Structure 1
Amino acid sequence: MDQQHPMTRMLGSLTTAAALAGALVLAGCASPQKAPATADVAVSRNAVENAVSAGAAELAPAEITVAREKMLRANQALAARDYKLARELAIQAQADAKLAQSKANSAKATAASNALNEDLRVLREEVERANSQPAPTTTPQ
């Protein structure tokens, strides 16, 4: 008389599947083979693309250049089947790309803050100027 709710059975199956997938991922990462290195290179490529999309080429050129160089070297190591080096360079490229993206985002936020502060300054001047003028007088008719 084991009548579990269908959602409970489905959650149990999903939990088992997730545990199995996690074990497979851990097993794959345990040895520096082609698949983990290839995945790391792909992740670093994506991180560089994200940083460029965030404006890193203009706002953090040194950092994105370093990330691109490491990604290129990681691809070369992957082609040479030096999977350990490929993985290390890919991880470094990803970190450099994230730094470039963070710097780009920070520069954009600073520029937006500066623009807002300038708008506030102009508004304050207008309010002060309006408050310092005498009130218009009305004459009764």
Structure 2
Amino acid sequence: MTNRDFKISPLAALAACATAVVLMTGCSSLKTPATADVAVSRAAVDNAASAGAADLAPDEMRSAREKMRMANQALKDRDYKTARELADQAQADAKLAQSKANSAKATSAADEINENIRVMREELDRANQQAPKQ
């Protein structure tokens, strides 16, 4: 058997190389530490806590912190796929908690403004009733 007996089309060779690259990339990403993912998620949890989410969205914050704890443990155990997944879930929980906290603050501010407007209207009505009529 000579080299001329075994021919492969350039397109098939390109497809085989592309498949090999995709497979190697996919497998290597599972072995890469998920430290960046965990760090980004930790920052999201910290930002949510700074926004007051621990008081205004305690369930979501509890969930985010628990998932961060589990992600850190998975990272220590070198289970990078699980660490990455848990970090992503923790980040989503933290963002939800922060959104709920911001929403609660905005609602509270709007309620306070509406109360101030109501009080001012009452004062204006009282002042108009006491003013001498001409």
Tell me the TM-score range normalised by the shorter chain.
Answer: 0.7 to 0.9
Gaps of 5+ in 2: 1-24
CA distance in 2, matches of 1:32, 1:127: 68
Q: Aligned AA for 2:68? A: M
Deviations 1:64-107 (A, max 9, x none): 00000000000000000000000000000000000000000011
CA distance in 2, matches of 1:136, 1:86: 76
The structure with the largest alpha-carbon Rg is: 2
Alignment of 1:121 with 2:118, yes or no, is yes
Show structure 1 runs of 4+ deviating over 4 A.
Answer: none
CA distance in 2, matches of 1:132, 1:70: 61
CA distance in 2, matches of 1:117, 1:72: 42
Q: How many residues align?
A: 109
Instruction: Calculate the TM-score normalised by the size of structure 2.
Output: 0.76
Deviations 1:18-61 (A, max 9, x none): xxxxxxxxx79x722334x1100001100000000000111111
Q: Aligned AA for 1:99? A: L
Match of 1:33 in 2: 31
Alignment of 1:50 with 2:47, yes or no, is yes
Instruction: Please list, as runs of the form range in 1=range in 2, the aligned pairs for 1:71-82 lying within 5 A after superposition.
Output: 71-82=68-79
Q: Aligned AA for 1:31? A: S
Give identity over the alignment, percent. Answer: 68
CA distance in 2, matches of 1:70, 1:130: 58
3-state SS of paired residue (1:135): coil
Q: Aligned AA for 1:39? A: A
Alignment of 1:60 with 2:57, yes or no, is yes
